[in-house]
Structure 1
Amino acid sequence: MVTKPLDGDAESRDEQLARNVSELLQELRVAQTGVQFLFGFLLSVAFTEHYARASGFEQVVHLVAVVFATASVALFTAPAAWHRLLFRRGRRPEIVAVANRLTVAGLASLAVAMTATVLLLFKVVAGTAVASVAAVVVAALFAVLWFVLPLRVRAD
């Protein structure tokens, strides 16, 4: 349910855009922290003894996770760069629109990176069959919570 501001509480278009940028940057701070931890973990894995003995499949899954985690970092930090480079240029509408698309793409990339990481971890710990099921469950969880349900609410 969307609430409308009271008559005296209406915000101007500039105030709304400033609030949108501020809220978006705050949301990105939360996502960025998680992706940084994941990225650090994925980087450290390549320098372990086990990685040297990993199968080709495990190394490919690891590289997929690293690539998508890297993409997430780039996508999640891009709105801050856009904001900073276009600061005080009257471009808030473009910043908000582009930042929204970049953030959604960053979430999709993060979901792929997390799913690949779970696949890799479960493959090493529990074997291929369990890893496959875990990856499907995790991918479905991200898809439903991050995309399907919000888009369903948005469509109402």
Structure 2
Amino acid sequence: MSTGSGRDESPEERADRRWAELLQEVRVAQTGVQILLGFLFMAVFTPRFVTLPAVDKNIYTATVILGAATTAALIGPVSIHRLLTGRRLKPQTVAWASALTLIGLLLLLGTVMAALLLVLRVALRDAAATWIVAGVGGWFALCWFALPLLALLSARARA
């Protein structure tokens, strides 16, 4: 049965394929955020932490909260799949897990930028940290969101 997607697969086969692809994507993001969050959790127990100015402690707190929210969003697809397996909801499961993964990527962007801001503020002790983070944030946004969006718009324009 053709689905108009360029592949000869049933809706169930398409959902299975999309789920497998999503799972591979989530594994990469989960690993990164779990390592980052682990390092963030340890930072508060270092002697240097107590000497940080209040603004840096606030950035740290926001970063840890963002990291925890990111972890929840990127592990969420596992829970969705586990709770919905066998209920004949695979296409919906893939759609919900995909949306949660996109939210997780947005949160991960915020987590990485906040962590980078904290590290650069401590390392540089000047306003350049903010500008560097803005530039790196733009690069992340380009790589993660703008390029895929441009590819999608280009493909739609050709169709």
Q: TM-score, normalized by length of structure 1?
A: 0.92
RMSD: 1.2
Structure 2 residue aligned with 1:30: 28
Structure 2 residue aligned with 1:41: 39
Instruction: Say if 1:119 and 1:132, in contact at 8 Å, map to a contact too.
Output: yes
Task: Report 1:46-85 matches (<5 A).
Answer: 46-85=44-83
Task: Report 1:81-96 matches (<5 A).
Answer: 81-96=79-94
Q: How many residues align?
A: 150
Say which SS state the counterpart of residue 29 (structure 1) adopts.
Answer: helix
Task: Report 1:143-154 matches (<5 A).
Answer: 143-154=141-152
Say which SS state the counterpart of residue 127 (structure 2) adopts.
Answer: helix
Structure 1 residue aligned with 2:6: 4
Deviation at 1:125, TM superposition (A): 0.7
Aligned AA for 2:67? A
Deviation at 1:61, TM superposition (A): 0.8
Deviation at 1:4, TM superposition (A): 3.0
Aligned AA for 2:6? K
Aligned AA for 1:4? G
C-alpha separation between the residues in 2 aligned to 1:128 and 1:66? 23
C-alpha separation between the residues in 2 aligned to 1:138 and 1:29? 23
Moved more, 80-89 or 143-152: 143-152
Q: Deviations over 1:72-94 (max 9, x none)?
A: 10000101100010001111111
Identity %: 37
Q: TM-score, normalized by length of structure 2?
A: 0.90
Instruction: Say if 1:119 and 1:135, in contact at 8 Å, map to a contact too.
Output: yes
Structure 1 residue aligned with 2:130: 132
Say which SS state the counterpart of residue 128 (structure 1) adopts.
Answer: coil
C-alpha separation between the residues in 2 aligned to 1:84 and 1:132? 41
Structure 1 residue ranges, 4+ long, deviating more than 2 angstroms after superposition: none
Task: Report 1:79-118 matches (<5 A).
Answer: 79-118=77-116
Instruction: Say if 1:75 and 1:102, in contact at 8 Å, map to a contact too.
Output: yes
Q: Deviations over 1:106-152 (max 9, x none)?
A: 01100111001111111111113121112101211111111111112
Instruction: Say if 1:118 and 1:134, in contact at 8 Å, map to a contact too.
Output: no
